Amino acid sequence: MTETINVLQFICPTGFYGAERWVLALAKHLDPSKVRCYLAVTMEPGQTRLELVNEYKKLDLPCHIVDMKSKFDLSAVTKMAELIKQQNIHIVHTHGYKSDIIGVLAARKAGVPCVVTPHGFENAKDFKLRTFIWLGCQAMKYATKVVPLSQQLMRDCKRMGVKGHKTLYIQNGVDLSEVEATPAPDRQNATEKRIGFVGQMISRKNIFDILDIFDQLHAKHPNTRLVLLGDGDTRAALETHSKVLASNSHIEFLGFRDDRLSLLKSFDLFVMTSTLEGIPRCLMEATAASIPVAAYDIAGIDQLIEHQKTGLLAPLGEKAQLLEHWESLLFTEGYGDELAANAKEFVYQHYSANRMATEYTELFEKLVQEAE
């Protein structure tokens, strides 16, 4: 068998969020004597700097930019296939609808195995986006292996037509050492309760519910603040909505921040109101940082949060109940700390990046053996 396996991680970045950080964590924790991780990212006209590339270069691993003339340029398939051959890539590993389509086609053209890792499915309303997502799901069927991040995503993949023998479940992992190494910031107002969210501002994150719940909370508890970190295509609409709320002066949209982990540690409560998730990296980081969590009870989140043990969950859409959970965790002395400690212990035990990297190494070795 090949001594060192060359794996090309391929992603079409939309920022520096869960999927991008996941790719970085996997590359960081793989044994370089067994697996050498290359990175390929697409660059579209007008696209801003790619934080993932900057961070990846710090690992002293090779990075490649695949230029695209438009949002979906099929010439990228040929460029990727040439890159695979030039760099003697043994396996392509894709992340996201666009990278799945291009990556699967390029891998087949170059004659190497392709692993697809779904990070979550978007329940989009836009017809073009829904069509694009459908194409990405079809591409998965032609991958060598599909490795979802959660059991629910496993079920979703099979429902979409991916054959059972092509799927493999490797439990998600996160680089928790990064959380541990980040110091908590000084609080300007030590008595103010800070509610926070970190992540993409896209439709399935359902951040409008966070704004509405906070507005009700703030009316009862004026010494509260909502801090939202991240960016995305719903941000403008969210900011517009927040301006009509009575609590607007206590809502902050901070966008993408390099100091997000430090800001995360300033939160008294981490909240999510997503309608669809994989296993959210931001939620793992919040629990690793000992921040209490309140969220809607949906697949993916339920793998990290057990109601009344590691956090508080409300049925999807039950804003009144979620508001009660926010109040319990913020204002019942010791309760939030107790659940946060349980959650931290759970995530460290079950979701380490080292364990995940070991299982991926075993998969890569098996695929290379089968291809020889």
Q: Give pLDDT, residue 318.
A: 98
* Per-residue model confidence (pLDDT) at position 122: 66
User: What stretch(es) of the chain map to CATH 3.40.50.2000?
Assistant: 5-173+352-371, 177-350
CATH superfamily of 5-173+352-371: Glycogen Phosphorylase B; (3.40.50.2000)
Assess contact for 75 and 44: CB atoms under 8 A.
Answer: no
Please give the average pLDDT of every successive group of 10 residues along the chain, which has 372 residues: 88 84 92 95 83 91 92 90 97 94 96 93 67 80 93 88 93 82 83 95 96 98 97 95 98 92 95 91 92 96 95 98 98 97 92 90 96 83
The pair phi, psi for residue 296, each rounded to 5°, is -75, 145
- Tell me, rounded to whole angstroms, the distance of Cα 330 from its chain centroid: 26
* pLDDT value, residue 248: 97
| CATH class of segment(s) 177-350 | alpha beta
